[in-house]
Each structure stands twice: as C-alpha cells, then as structure tokens.
Chain A
C-alpha cells in the first residue's frame, strides 16, 4: 500500500486541480480551459482511437455546444506519483441532456479516466488519456426547471462566458 508522502502534497493537489479543470472546460464549453490541461503532444483515446488531444479539444467543444447541458461529476481519484510523472484513475459520472426528434433525452455515463501526467517545471498536465466506459443510462429527460421548488432557484449553469462563475451573477 503506497503512503502519501509529504513532498508530494503539492503535486497531488495540482493534479487533482487539473482534473477538475478538465471537467470545468468540458461543462462550460471553455476551449481555453480545456486546452490548458494537455501538454502540446498529448494524445487522448476516448474509444475511437488515439487522437491529438488539442485538436480533440476544439472538436469536442463544438460537439458539446450542440447538447443542452452536461455535468461531469468527478469522484474517486487514485494518483500514483513517481518524480515528474504520475498515473491516475478518476471516476466520472457524466450527465448529458441532448435534443432529439422525440424531445430532450438524458444520457448518463459512468466511466473512468486513465491518465498519464507529467510535470514540467512547476506545472502538471496530461500527456496521455484513455477513457474507460463502465455503464450508461439513457432515456427521456426528466429535467424540470419550473414549478414550486424550481421557480425559486433561477441561477442556472451555462456555457462560457455566461456561467454565473464567470458573470458573478
């Protein structure tokens, strides 16, 4: 069993932060935030082959923008650090609401990110990512935005630059 070492605290926090910034980049459709998680030569394989991660970042923001909304909920992180490289496994429960001919649909996907990360100077970024699919749940959307409870909860997530975290609304 590995033990968390004092000299790795800053590295672990930086890696956890980086993983959270990925989710933020995706959910806010913020290509700048998303691109900044990868090293320039980074590769990503989400299941349809290994691709250039920076090029993918642009494409995925376009694809995500066509969806109504997403939330990438990150959970468990196992991070193994060895000097300037690290391996991480991060659980993710990704919720998507998309339009279809039959009305809005919910797609929820449980999976894991298997990342190889590298520190260059003071900065950690992802060098390689493989995405593993565990389960999915699909069906007509049950999202409600109006009614007795929701009428009082008007501040809603949005894509950059309209999200309350950016507008200060």
Chain B
C-alpha cells in the first residue's frame, strides 16, 4: 500500500478480512466445496473439531465425508470478535449450525442444530490473511424429527440450496468474474 492509511482503518480492514474468512469457510462447508475450504487455510494450518484433530489438509476429506452423510447444512455466523496483534489475529465467531440428517431404517429425517463458537487463529503471510488454526467449541444443541414441509421437486419456481456448482450462488457471484477467478 503506497499511501499511509489511518491505523484505525487498517485495523478495520484486517478485522474485515478475518471475518470474511469465517463467512467464506461457512459457505464452503455448506456448498461441500473442498477447494473453497482449502482456500481459507494456510498450507500448514490445523483444525480441532473435537471429533477431528489434525491438519487442515486432512480436515478437508474428513469433513466432506461427514457432510456426504447429511442432506443439507447451513452454518449461520453471528457475533464475530477479532483481536489483531500485528500479523496474527484471534477470533471468536458464534455459530448456529443447522443439519438435516437422513433417518435410518425407514425413519424420517431429523433436524439437528448445534451452536457454539469457532476459535480461530488468523495469520497474515505475504500480505494475505488466512486461517492458521481453527478450534470448535460447542455450547448447545437440539435435535428433533424434521418438520421441513417443502416438496422440492414439486416447487420448480423456487431456488433451493444445493451442494456444489448447482447452488444459485455460483452463478450469482460469477457476475463479477475477475474477482471469483482470483480464488
């Protein structure tokens, strides 16, 4: 950056980059897009989801496998607190994660909500913020039989969330091609 910017503005930009990483990771997970998941982590990043502890590169196939057993998910992010210390930042992002799970042995689907916080360490390397470590903390959950009433196949006019490039958001963001191509 050639011109000097107000340090408060610089801090805001750093925080915004970190918040956006949290939002992009939620999108990547909900769309089951392994490439987008990898893109938010540094190559040597680590992850601790409780049921998974290891490198981010091992986390990707693990989480894709977990997601494959679910019909759909939505990870809603709420409050995000980010503390910047130079090229390192720590974040606490509240989440409410919604999961539709297929029932076993002819049982109907169930709807599982898990809420907690992502404790992230962000690092800026070569001018770019990415996640160096993610830890998930679980606060509460609720599970009940699914009460989703949409007969998706019979509602052709509606846009429904999907995994992968079939989701309407890919076409939506492609309207600004030079930006998305950079990812």
Contact = CB atoms under 8 A, between A and B. Distances in A.
Interface of A: 1-6, 9, 12, 45, 47-49, 73, 75-78, 80, 82, 85-87, 89, 91, 93, 110-112, 114, 116, 130-139
Interface in B138-183: 147-150, 155, 157-161, 167-169, 172-173, 175-176, 178-180, 182-183
Contacts of B75: 76
Given A6-B13, A80-B179, A114-B169, A138 B149 contact: yes
Interface residues of B, number: 53
Given A75-B76, A82-B179, 16 more contacts: A2-B183, A3-B127, A4-B20, A9-B16, A48-B158, A76-B22, A78-B27, A80-B173, A86-B176, A89-B27, A91-B77, A110-B98, A112-B161, A132-B161, A134-B74, A135-B98
21 contacts: A1-B39, A1-B128, A2-B20, A2-B182, A3-B128, A9-B12, A9-B16, A47-B158, A75-B77, A76-B23, A78-B24, A86-B176, A87-B175, A89-B169, A130-B159, A134-B30, A134-B72, A134-B74, A134-B161, A135-B161, A138-B148
A134 B147 contact: no
Contacts of A3: 17, 127-129
Interface of B is mostly: mixed
Contacts of B180: 80
B1 interface: yes
A112 B169 contact: yes
B132 interface: no
Interface of A is mostly: strand
Contacts of A76: 22-23, 26-27, 75-77
A136 B147 CA distance: 7
B130 interface: yes
A86 B175 CA distance: 9
